[in-house]
Amino acid sequence: MNSNIVKPGQILSIKEKNSPSPVAAKSKTQPTSSYIVKRGDTLPLIAKKTGVSALQIARLNHVTTKSLRAGQKLIIPREEPPAKAPVEEEEDLLEEEDEGLTDDASGQIACEEKVSEELLGKWGSADERKLFIRVATGFLGAPYRLGGATVKGIDCSAFVRKMYEFFDITLPRTAREQSTVGMQVGRDELVEGDLVFFRTKKPIGHVGIYIGNNEFVHASYKAKAVRIDSLDRPYFQKRFQRAVRLKGLDENGGT
């Protein structure tokens, strides 16, 4: 403006004062320690004592072996420990589905140790078993709900029970109870349709259906949905308890 007179309604353009430039993010400083040079020390000798290369020490302190003096204080860089990878909350991946049941500990353990060792039925064919896996994996993404038994929300044992109901097998309600029926098999003997059981806070607290390739489908507490996981995953390797087979194939059909 060419005048110092301000009129009502006039729009003024006000130039902001130069604000201080944002402070640049401080570069992460490397932690250091110090070393007092002793008579007879050389850079290679100091490097051996401190575990830091002679080149690093020379560059950081602008010294050479010849310029070292007894009593001189050198700055020695220290390696920061690598950041720890986030650890999954161990009890967060699997639900405690039996919580609230009134079984005493001895009854629970006795029940878990008792396995019928008898198949509950036979697959009509290998194709029927494949159909079972297609049906089970067709529920991927279905919402998880502890204690739930419908498509609006289902937990691990209810999911397994529902899948087998479609194929004329009636199972108990909980993972613990389901682990006591059928024929126990080794992990290296697993075939599609076998049930795999895992430890939670209780010896048997989670169950899924083996689908081949070391994978199983289950209603996941962590994902809050039906999903596929790998038995090779360290978390599940550590907690794998047992596997049972509910239906077999006749001799001409295989396992």
Domain boundaries, the chain: 32-77, 105-248
Q: What is the mean pLDDT of residues 180-186?
A: 95
pLDDT level of residue 51 (50, 70, 90 thresholds) = confident
What are the φ and ψ backbone dihedral angles of 47, each rounded to 5 degrees?
-60, -40
Catalytic site residue from 176, 218, 227, 245? 218
- The structure tokens listed for 183 are 């024929």
Query: Tens digit of pLDDT for each residue in 9-46?
Result: 555 555 555 544 444 444 456 678 889 999 889 888 89
* pLDDT for position 220: 92
Which residues face 217 on adjacent strands? 209, 228
- CATH class held by domain 105-248: alpha beta
Instruction: Pick the more confident residue, 17 or 60.
Output: 60
Asked if 206 is an active-site residue, the reply is yes
Please name the amino acid found at residue 164. Answer: Y
Nearby residues of 28 by Cβ (< 8 Å), 6 or more positions away: none
Question: pTM to 2 decimals?
Answer: 0.60
pLDDT of amino acid 7: 59
Dump pLDDT digits (tens) for 185-242: 999 999 999 999 999 888 899 999 999 999 999 999 888 999 999 999 999 999 999 9
CA-to-CA separations, 66 to 41, 59, 74, 122, 159, in angstroms, rounded: 10, 14, 14, 86, 76
Lowest mean pLDDT across 55-59, 77-81, 223-227, 243-247? 77-81
Residue 134 banded pLDDT, cuts 50, 70, 90: very high
Both tokens of 179, joined, read 């682990």
Q: What is the mean pLDDT of residues 146-165?
A: 92
The pLDDT of residue 170 is 96
Question: What's the confidence (pLDDT) of residue 77?
Answer: 87
Tokens of 124: 């009509």
The mean pLDDT value for 136-152 works out to 91
Two tokens, residue 7? 């009129």
What average pLDDT score do residues 122-137 get?
A: 96
List, in sequence order, every residue forming a beta bridge with 219; answer none if it has no partner.
Answer: 226
Among 156, 171, 209, 211, the active-site one is 156
The DSSP output letter for 227 is: E
**pLDDT tens per residue across span 72-122:** 999 998 766 656 555 444 444 555 444 333 333 434 443 445 566 789 999
The residue with greater pLDDT, 63 or 243, is: 243
62 is an active site residue: no
Alpha-carbon Rg for the chain, nearest whole angstrom, is: 33
CA distances 27 to 23, 24, 99, Å, are: 11, 8, 50
CB-CB neighbours of 217 under 10 Å: 22
Active-site residue, selected from the candidate residues 129, 202, 206, 227: 206
| pLDDT for position 33 | 87
Q: What is the pLDDT of residue 91?
A: 45
Query: Which CATH architecture is the domain 32-77 placed in?
Result: Roll (3.10)
